[in-house]
Amino acid sequence: MKKIVWITMITTIIIVSYFLFEPIMTYTSGWNSFPNINTLKPIVTHQDSTSKKADNILNEMFTHLKAPGFSVAVGMNGKVIWSNAIGYKDIKNDKKLSRDTKFRIGSTSKAVTSLGIGLLLQDGKLNLNSRVGEFVPYTNDPLSELTLKQLASHTSGIRNYSVCLCFPIWEHLNNDEYTTVQESVGIFSNSTLLFPSGTDFSYSSYNYTLISAMLEGASGKDFLNFMKEDVFNPLGLDHIEGERSSMHTKNISKFYDVEENQYKETFEVNNSNKWAGGGFVSTPVDLVKLGNALLNNQLLDKKTTETILKPVLLNNGEINKQNYAIGWRKGFTDEIFDNNQKVQIIHHAGTAAGSTSVFILFPEYNMSISILMNRSGTTSELFTYSYKLAKTFITKN
């Protein structure tokens, strides 16, 4: 009898451990040899010399970074002036990317959400010092006392992803479908703040989950409907939306991990717990249209745009350590021109399971660039290629 009990206990522990640590347990399996990509070319062959240079940069990116696929767009003076894609959206079924294929954009979602914030600021339904409790009745202290500005600039003290009593054990690899923002807020609502709000900086996508709850309270609409009806539709953005498990039959890429010359589909996750801060899918063209709109005051007036792009100060009067504004980072790069001329950039990158995003605005040149790739990775090299593209189109004009 004791033997049966012990066997049952050990079996149960093994099964539970497997599901708790499933991403690790399964990572070594399911790898496949990478297909021959040398014959693949960008899906569009442009004729003018500048666009051809951009096509060549895309091809170089594809060859060098070894992702299954890339999609890229460039906007200037309020228009999309170039876009292209290369590679696979589904390797197993030999399906190629198109410019309408959607990718996860990870934390670039925060920049997208910033336009929704700006719209409600502009309409007087919110202000930067609005408290959570004024718009989100289901929160308690200390969350209810946090301000919109503190949340949007990551100076609130809310923690980031952690481990949980869930399968798998890591919150950022969530498999559950959250149907409401209120459910998502419940993940961290009882957590202690890391520091007194406004005194320090600690990056957390949960700040934007709580912001989406504020946007719901201020707009009277659920978050995704508000973004669609009040932000996306007026700007003609047809290929950006919050990711749901039901959407994977639509024109959305598969998502991959890549090791040397092998690939596998990434561990399946559900991003419905963080739409505002890391759960949108989009095409580069729609992101560039959104960037164009911000640079040219198509949705937000000049004053509101300046407000959301101004880095937030801590309580001591110092700028936060990442120069973070309302959904954007603001800084300079000297990597575009050979003479190291500094160029202002406003940007937000993003990493998600099996996808990587870089989204940059160049206000001085009224330019926006989005690069999306369907593999997990770092963003540094995508920034470098963004600067190459920027130089290509700036020096033409």
Q: Are residues 269 and 345 in the same domain?
A: yes
Q: Are residues 19 and 41 in the same domain?
A: no
Q: Is the pLDDT of residue 240 over 70?
A: yes
Q: Is the pLDDT of residue 178 over 90?
A: no
Q: Are residues 187 and 309 in the same domain?
A: yes
- pLDDT value, residue 56: 97
- pLDDT value, residue 16: 43
pLDDT digit string, tens, across residues 325-351: 999 999 999 999 999 999 999 999 999
Q: Are residues 298 and 249 in the same domain?
A: yes
- Three-state secondary structure of 214-248: HHHHHHCCCHHHHHHHHHHCCCCCCCCEECCHHHH
Average pLDDT over residues 228-242: 98
Average pLDDT over the chain, rounded to an integer: 91
Q: Structure pTM?
A: 0.91
Q: Are residues 25 and 47 in the same domain?
A: no
Q: How far is CA 228 from CA 73, 242, 246, in A?
A: 21, 9, 18
Q: Are residues 21 and 131 in the same domain?
A: no
Query: Which pLDDT band holds residue 18 (cuts at 50, 70, 90)?
Result: very low
pLDDT digit string, tens, across residues 66-77: 999 999 999 999
Q: Are residues 128 and 198 in the same domain?
A: yes
Q: Looking at the 3D structure of the chain, how many domains does it have?
A: 2
Q: Is the pLDDT of residue 172 over 90?
A: no
Q: Are residues 148 and 12 in the same domain?
A: no
Residue 361 main-chain phi, psi, to 5 deg: -110, 140
Q: Are residues 133 and 233 in the same domain?
A: yes
Q: Which residues contact 104 (CB under 8 A, 6 or more apart)?
A: 243, 255, 271, 280, 281, 350, 352, 353, 354, 355, 357
Q: Are residues 45 and 15 in the same domain?
A: no
CB 293 within 8 A of CB 235: yes
Q: Are residues 275 and 180 in the same domain?
A: yes
Q: Are residues 181 and 232 in the same domain?
A: yes
pLDDT digit string, tens, across residues 147-163: 999 999 999 999 987 55
CATH value at residue 320: 3.40.710.10
The domain in which residue 19 lies consists of 2-30
